[in-house]
Amino acid sequence: MMKNVFLAAAALVFSATAANAEVIAQFTSNIEERQPVDALEVITFDKEGLENIIFFTDIRNEEGKTIYHVWKNGENEIYKHKFNIGGARWRVWSSVAKLRFTPEDTISVEVVDDTGNILYSDSVEVK
């Protein structure tokens, strides 16, 4: 079932760049067996439940390169995580604590290569 959630969401978030990178990415509440368990469209701010917000990326055709997850709250960069891509298809994820945000914030993540090109970006609102 997890695979079906990811594949259904993948059809909505596929991106290809001039550099021939193929990126499938999404916000999720958890990772199991190197796959996201769901696709988050809104983050509900409550005291219970979700503690971390995870951004998952499945990237292809970037072997040997470096990519970054650049997390932002609005326009402000709050976290940057570096990944070295070790294969033709590579799955990576990073996370931030939900407590870094407040209701009405907009969380975004840019997948950026080592030359600064944005390969993919997505955002989600906190309610």
Residue ranges per structural domain of the chain:
2-126
What pLDDT was estimated at residue 103?
A: 87
What pLDDT was estimated at residue 94?
A: 98
What pLDDT was estimated at residue 51?
A: 84
What pLDDT was estimated at residue 10?
A: 46
Tens of pLDDT, residue by residue over 57-74, are 999 999 999 999 999 999
Q: Which of 82, 78, 39, 36 is nearest to 58 (CA)?
A: 36
Strand, coil or helix: what is 111?
A: strand
- With a cut of 70, list the residues of the chain below it in pLDDT: 1-19, 46-50
What pLDDT was estimated at residue 45?
A: 72
- Residue 90 CA to residue 22 CA, distance in Å, equals 11
Predicted structure pTM score: 0.83
Q: Pick one of 1.10.287, 1.10.15, 2.60.40, 2.40.50 as the CATH number of 2-126.
A: 2.60.40
Task: Provide the 10 A C-beta neighbour count for residue 11.
Answer: 8
What pLDDT was estimated at residue 49?
A: 62
